[in-house]
Amino acid sequence: MTLRIAVCVKYVPDATGDRRFADDTTTDREGVDGLLSELDEYGVEQALRIAEASGDAEVTVLTVGPDDAKDALRKALSMGADKAVHVNDDDIHGSDVIATSAIVAKALEQVGFDLVVCGMASTDGTMGVLPALLAERLGVPQATLLSEVGVEGTTVKGRRDGDAASEQVEAQLPAVVSVTDQSGEARYPSFKGIMAAKKKPVQSLDLDDLGIDADAVGLAGAWTKVETVTARPPRSKGTIVTDEGEGGKQLAAFLAEQKFI
Amino acid sequence: MTEILVLVDHADGQVRKPALELLTLARRLGTPAAVVLGAGDNAAAIAAKAAEYGAATVHTADAPEFTAQLVVPKVDALTQIAQATEAGAVLVTSSGEGKEIAARVALRLGSGLITDAVDLEAGASGPVATQSVFAASFQVKSTVTHGAPVITVKPNAVAPEPAPAAGTVQAVEVAFTGNAATVTARTPRVSSGRPELTEAAIVVSGGRGVGAAEGFGVVEDLADALGAAVGASRAAVDAGWYPHTNQVGQTGKQVSPQLYIAAGISGAIQHRAGMQTSKTIVAVNKDPEAPIFELVDYGIVGDLFTVLPQLTAQAKG
Amino acid sequence: MTQDFDLFRLSEEHEMLRESVRSLAEAKIAPFAAEVDEQGRFPQEALDALQGNDLHAVHVPEEYGGAGADALATVLVIEEVARVCASSSLIPAVNKLGSLPVQLSGSEELKAKYLGALARGEGMFSYCLSEPEAGSDAAGMKTRAVRDGDFWVLNGVKRWITNAGVSEYYTVMAVTDPELRSRGISAFVVEKADEGVSFGAPEKKLGIKGSPTREVYFDNVRIPADRMIGAEGTGFATAMKTLDHTRVTIAAQAIGIAQGALDYAKGYVKERKQFGKAIAEFQGVQFMLADMAMKLEAARQLTYAAAAKSQRTDGDLTFFGAAAKCFASDVAMEITTDAVQLLGGYGYTRDYPVERMMRDAKITQIYEGTNQVQRIVMARNLP
């Protein structure tokens, strides 16, 4: 039986660019270059490694996002994923994570999966809760925040490093996993991979295809509301001194003044 | 007044500091009620501590599932308690697990979810949460418009203040829903004897400028003199000089201590995302052009290997 | 108006390749560039990273197990590696230079064996043409190959051999009939492991210090006759045809180095403050940057055009290859020198990368034919 692996990825504004909000308090994706979220590259990598180890697997990469999000899919395909699904619908704009999880879960059900692989969080929203929400919606176990992951037969196993302990966890497939940036470095697309990506199928789906009511998603369907957005005032310029032998003492004096020592 | 549920994070029989911060914040919103799960024999002591910080009620539940399975048993418990008590809001610490629990609870309750709040206040239509986003370049205030708000709050959002309350313990039976990953082995982290990075009031971090694993000695010495936690930049972690569990930044821990000392850290956006909300920022760096100096309250252009030991000596003296 | 062809720009795939190589180069190669230069050591990290991602010899056709990249894609790989470390860019560049004679003129067996080994990362390929007394006048070479039954026996010395000692495979031009001068030269594949192959001490160079340049000695090296590349007496023609294609890769190196220097200088002038403002705000500095960017872009366009001609083997490739190499390397020398100037005293120190780039740029005006020789080539092949 072919192991069906679905990787969820997100197209995010480049963190080195000038990220900001649009007038409707959503992330401004117009003015900033986007890319495949770095943390999702780890998800793609682990999916590919699991597929390579299994010998009989198919990796589908899935994203929800605007037209440009196809760049993220393209990158994942050039890394080696077999096919892609792009959920794109104007009505999705402004969806919160709860609504997004409903869209992704529906798309996953339609695509079919034995294993869903996610990154640990997106680099823009940084909530890190989508994998848990997907597990909840799909009614499958979650084995999340794994620094090591592998599939043995119909069991996914991995290591979850928490603050207090490092845990070995396992779950029966189908399951949702998320992987951390410690799980193993993501590969770079090779020339062959890039050329091959061009010929791989990318399926487009909209809300109708998924049977989702437009009112349930988007800004209007969100269960949270942004009241205000304020740019953080730039920190006032601090004192900078060059060490001429007394730097440590000068710093101690500053800290004493601030009552830290 | 409505009950504000606080999931009390605990480890080794001790209440972790962020839980006390949540109880302190919960008092702004209503009557705090603590939820203590899987604490075994320590439940009573933990309940007492929660009461000291304002919990009028302490819902406790204990079962092997809480430690044998991932996330779901706590979701089951918290959801069922929230439904039974018709809680006004649910507060959870913003950790990896905390956020996962909160998200699934929100979905089950039909509630809006806000994560990583750095402040909470009562508003006209429920709690108003403040978040710091895009590497702390924006502050966003949000409310939940659907269901009882489920909010995760970052450590150090507020100073914990005792406010003794009844702390009436109510044991709860939880109906477990299963469908969870199982934990087959657990290795506790070796304690460094230093405060937990995300909870510490002071953090001293080292970066590329530290030069080698041994170089972290001066960083640790200063941390110990200040009672601080030790952090590391991604460059230092990638180089293998310090464990990943201590990484501060976008892909590591996000900290907002009272005082953050960056030693030999240039201050790439990746790092700033993890520490920019610190109250006071100090940097020591050889390179006067290092971007970290744009953030600091006080900066020393100099060699960390001379400046840090001198500061350590002063702090001890 | 719609058209069914893309008007004069890189394809999306080429842009993606650039992006991929750039991120690899910045993460895996750039961190070692200064150390590699300072210590004059081989950039093993770069070789590992390039091989690990199948970027070490992208030009090898797919039928021999390679990535099958076109000449323009190969240029992009070399350019992006050179942007962070010129020494490391000699890995993909010289792999092409060394193996192209086999690809152009070798038998199927020879191609399968050696291009396959190169593609699999079993060894790098070097190119042995120059000799102590035969530089620009390559046909004046002394290295001899003498037939002995089913074998050829090689004797002689090759000089300025890039990656000598680290490469496993060497394309060697040797005289098989001294009477015929350039038509009496044949090309062979020699392996490092062949008995009688040895190497001189690494040259102490101004730049590209991470790429070993050594003499290669052939002392009664006995190789099977089927290691000859193409027919007897065609070696010099193969060598020259190879250079038509690979001069474009030197141009790629040059624009990569220049881009690295320009990028660094651009960042620096925005941060460096004098007289109370960033020096980027001074028009004198702006004019310098504008000239640098203009020249670099002109060199890049010429290089990419030459790469396309290399891929199609257009009739005017010889002119374009020489023109691209000559122009891009001259421009790289100017730009890197100006980058040092923009950084002032800091630029002159090894604490900043631009002086390394300036030293590295110099070789692109010299190797694979000095720019004076390129002008001879251009003059004889005017379009």
Domain ranges of chain B: 3-171, 202-316
- Give the one of A16, A128, A225 whose C-beta lies nearest to B145's C-beta: A225
Q: Is A53 on the interface with B (CB under 8 A)?
A: no
How open is the CA angle A57-A61-A66, to the nearest 5 degrees?
Answer: 170
Dist. CA C268–CA C290, nearest whole Å? 15
Of A57-71, A117-131, C278-292, C337-351, minimum mean pLDDT range: A117-131
pLDDT at residue C1 above 60? no
If one counts every other C-beta atom within 10 angstroms of the C-beta of residue B36, the result is 29
Confidence of residue C258 (pLDDT cuts 50, 70, 90): very high
Query: Are residues A260 and B226, on separate chains, in Cβ contact within 8 Å?
Result: yes
Question: Of A218-227, B268-277, C140-149, where does the model show the most confidence?
Answer: C140-149
71-90 in chain B: CB under 8 A from chain A: 71-72, 75
Total of domains in chain C: 3
Is C301 in the same domain as C338?
yes
- Tell me the shortest Cα–Cα distance from B42 to chain A, in angstroms: 17
Confidence of residue C3 (pLDDT cuts 50, 70, 90): confident
Q: Does A195 touch chain C (CB under 8 A)?
A: yes
- Nearest CA-CA distance, residue A153 and chain C, Å: 29
Query: Helix C371-380 and helix C317-347: axis angle, to 10°?
Result: 150
Is B311 close to A235, i.e. CB distance below 8 A? no
The answer to whether A145 contacts B96, with C-beta atoms less than 8 Å apart, is yes
In chain B, residues with a C-beta closer than 8 Å to the C-beta of A162 are 95-97
User: Does A3-221 carry CATH code 3.90.190.10?
Assistant: no
Q: Which residues are CB-contacts of A12 (< 8 A; sequence separation ≥ 6)?
A: A34, A35, A36, A37, A122, A123, A124
User: Chains that contact A by 3+ CB pairs under 8 Å?
Assistant: B, C
Could you tell me whether strands B113-123 and B150-153 are parallel, antiparallel, or unpaired per DSSP bridges? parallel
In CATH, what number is assigned to the domain containing residue C325? 1.20.140.10
Last residue of a domain, one of C64, C97, C119: C119
**Contact yes or no for C186/C176 (Cβ under 8 A):** yes
**Residue C80 φ then ψ, to 5°:** -70, -30
Q: How many CB pairs under 8 A join A and B?
A: 261
Q: Say whether both C264 and C358 belong to one domain.
A: yes
Residue of A nearest to B273 (CA): A15
Residue B243 makes CB contacts below 8 A (sequence gap 6+) with: B232, B237
Q: How far apart, in whole angstroms, are the C-alpha atoms of residue C231 and residue C186?
A: 7
C308, C311, C313, C319: CA torsion to nearest 10? 40
B282 touches chain A (CB under 8 A): yes
- Give the burial string for C77-94 (b: 16+ CB within 10 Å, else e): bbbbbbbbbbbbbbbbbb
Q: Check pLDDT > 90 for residue C95.
A: yes
A15 touches chain C (CB under 8 A): no
Taking CA atoms, A239 is separated from B265, B282, B300, in Å, by 17, 10, 9
pLDDT at residue A58, as a whole number: 97
Quick one: DSSP state of residue A186? P
User: Do residues C172 and C214 share a domain?
Assistant: yes
Judge whether B14 is closer than 8 Å to chain A, CB to CB: no
Is 0.90 exceeded by the ipTM?
no
| Cβ distance of A192 and C68 shorter than 8 Å | yes
B306–A243: do the CB atoms touch at under 8 Å? yes
- CB atoms < 10 A from the CB of A197, how many? 23
| Within a domain: C190 | yes
Q: Which residue of C has its CA nearest to A77?
A: C16
**Interchain proximity A252–B311, CB inside 8 Å:** yes
Lowest mean pLDDT across B4-8, C7-11, C74-78: C7-11
Q: State yes or no: is C368 an active-site residue.
A: yes
Interface touch B179/A145, C-beta < 8 Å: no
B315 at A interface, C-beta within 8 A: yes
Residue C34 lies in a domain: yes
Chain-centre distance for alpha carbon C325: 10
Residues of chain C with C-beta less than 8 angstroms from the C-beta of A74:
16
A138-152, B50-64, B269-283, C246-260: least confidently modelled range: B269-283
Distance CA B57, CA A151 (A): 44
A139 chain-B contacts, CB cut-off 8 A: 179
Residue from the list A232, A240, A248 with its beta carbon closest to the beta carbon of B307 = A248
Average pLDDT of span C312-333: 97
B-proximal residues of A, 187-246, CB under 8 Å: 222-232, 235, 238-243, 245-246
C6 within domain boundaries: no
Strand partners, C198: C217
- Quote the minimal CA–CA distance from C363 to chain A in Å: 28
User: Are C19 and A188 spatial neighbours (Cβ–Cβ below 8 Å)?
Assistant: no
User: What part of B 239-258 touches A (C-beta under 8 Å)?
Assistant: 244-245, 250-251, 258
Asked if B96's CB is within 8 angstroms of A128's CB, the reply is yes
What distance separates the 2 farthest-apart alpha carbons in chain B?
Answer: 60
Cβ–Cβ contact B159 with A under 8 A: no
Residue C107 has pLDDT above 60, yes or no: yes
Question: The tokens of C353 are what?
Answer: 């990368």
Distance from the A25 Cα atom to the nearest Cα atom in chain C, whole angstroms: 31
Q: Which of A22, A18, A34, A40 is nearest to A122 (CA)?
A: A40
CA C238 – CA B41 distance, rounded (Å): 84
Domain containing residue C177: 125-233
Name the token pair of B134.
Answer: 């895009």
Task: Tell me which chain A residue has its CA closest to the CA of residue B228.
Answer: A260
Amino acid making up residue B248: V
Catalytic residue chosen out of the listed positions C131, C232, C355, C368: C368
Instruction: For residue B21, count CB atoms less than 10 angstroms from its CB and return exposed for 0-12, middle for 13-18, buried for 19 or more.
Output: buried
Closest to C381 (Cα-Cα) out of C187, C247, C229, C182 = C247
pLDDT tier for residue B124 given thresholds of 50, 70 and 90: confident
Angle subtended by helix axes C317-347 and C354-364, to nearest 10: 150
Taking the CA of residue A109 and the nearest CA in chain C, the distance in Å comes to 31
Provide the Cα torsion A183, A189, A192, A196; round to 10°.
90
- Verify that C321 and C371 share a domain, yes or no: yes
- Structure tokens given for C297: 């872009």
* Whether A86 contacts A70, CB under 8 Å: yes
Q: What percent of chain C has pLDDT over 70?
A: 99
pLDDT above 90 (res B135)? no
Please tell me whether residues C352 and C245 are part of one structural domain.
yes
Nearest-CB residue to A165 (from B102, B103, B186):
B186
pLDDT for res A33: 74
Distance CA B308, CA C11 (A): 53
Q: Which of C63, C96, C119 is the last residue of a domain?
A: C119
Q: Which residues pair with C187 in a beta bridge?
A: C173, C229
Question: What pLDDT shows up at residue C7?
Answer: 86
Question: What residues of C are in contact with residue A190 (Cβ under 8 Å)?
Answer: 20, 53-55, 67
Cα–Cα distance measured from residue B303 to residue A159, given in angstroms and rounded to the nearest whole number? 39
From A15, A98, A241, residue closest to B106, measured CB to CB: A98
Domain end position, chosen among C69, C92, C119? C119
The residue that leads in pLDDT, C172 or B274, is C172
pLDDT of residue B190: 72
Angle, helices C235-271 vs C71-84, to 10°: value is: 50
Interface of C with A (CB under 8 A): 13, 16-17, 20-21, 23-24, 53-55, 58, 62, 67-69, 73, 77
**Around Cβ B171, how many Cβ atoms within 10 Å?**
10
Name which of A33-42, B138-147, C320-329 the model is least confident about.
Answer: A33-42
CA distance B199 to B11: 13
pLDDT one-digit tens code per residue, B165-185: 998 999 999 999 999 999 999
Alpha-carbon distance B140 to B65, whole Å?
A: 37
- What pLDDT was estimated at residue C382? 95
Residue of A nearest to C22 (CA): A188
CB contact under 8 A, C67 and A190: yes
Question: Chain A within 8 Å of B192 (Cβ-Cβ)?
Answer: no
- CA-to-CA distance for C45 and C51, rounded, in angstroms? 10
| Contact check, Cβ <8 Å, A164/B11 | yes
CA atoms within 13 A on the CB side of B290: 28
pLDDT of residue C245 exceeding 90, the answer is yes
CATH topology of domain B3-171: Rossmann fold (3.40.50)
How does residue B238 score in pLDDT terms, banded at 50, 70 and 90? Answer: confident
On whether the CB atoms of residues B179 and A141 are closer than 8 A, the answer is: yes
Average pLDDT of C60-76?
Answer: 96
Architecture category of domain B202-316 in CATH? 3-Layer(aba) Sandwich (3.40)
Which chains form contacts with chain C, at 3 or more CB pairs under 8 Å?
A
Say how far apart CA B199 and CA A69 lie, in whole Å: 37
For chain A of 261 residues, list the mean pLDDT of each consecutive stretch of 10. 93 70 67 80 96 95 92 95 95 87 95 95 77 96 94 95 86 95 91 94 94 87 87 78 91 88 82
Query: CA nearest B137 in A: which residue?
Result: A232
For the purposes of burial, counting CB atoms within 10 Å of the CB of C215, is it exposed (0-12), middle (13-18) or buried (19 or more)? buried
Mean pLDDT value of segment B244-248: 91
Identify from B78, B186, B258, B261 which residue to disrupt to test chain A contact, counting A C-beta atoms within 10 A and taking the largest count. B186
pLDDT at residue A20, rounded to an integer: 66
Q: Which residue of C has its CA nearest to A75?
A: C16
Mean of the pLDDT values across residues C40-62? 96
Burial status of residue B5 (CB atoms within 10 A of its CB: 0-12, 13-18, 19 or more): buried
pLDDT of residue B273: 81
E strand intervals along A163-221: 165-172, 175-179, 202-205
Does the residue C100 lie in any domain?
yes
User: Which H or E run includes C322?
Assistant: helix C317-347
- Strands C213-224 and C197-199 come out as antiparallel
User: Mind telling me how many Å the CA of C53 is from chain A's nearest CA?
Assistant: 6
For B298, the closest of A21, A239, A242 (CB atoms) is: A239
d(CA C332, CA C378) in angstroms, rounded, equals: 19
Q: Is the pLDDT of residue B125 over 90?
A: no
CA distance C71 to C68: 9
Instruction: Give B244→chain A minimum CA distance, Å.
Output: 8
Q: Taking the mean position of all CA atoms in its chain, how far away is CA B175?
A: 29
- CA-based nearest distance B11→chain A, Å: 7
CB contact under 8 A, B142 and A132: no
Region label for C208, one of left (φ > 0), alpha (ψ between -120 and 50) or beta (otherwise):
left
Q: How far is CA A35 from CA A75, B138, C9, C10, in A?
A: 9, 21, 21, 19
Same domain, yes or no: C258 and C375: yes
Per-residue pLDDT at B256: 87
Contact B198 A252 (CB under 8 A): no
Dist. CA A251–CA A34, nearest whole Å = 41
Identify the three-state secondary structure at position A171. Answer: strand
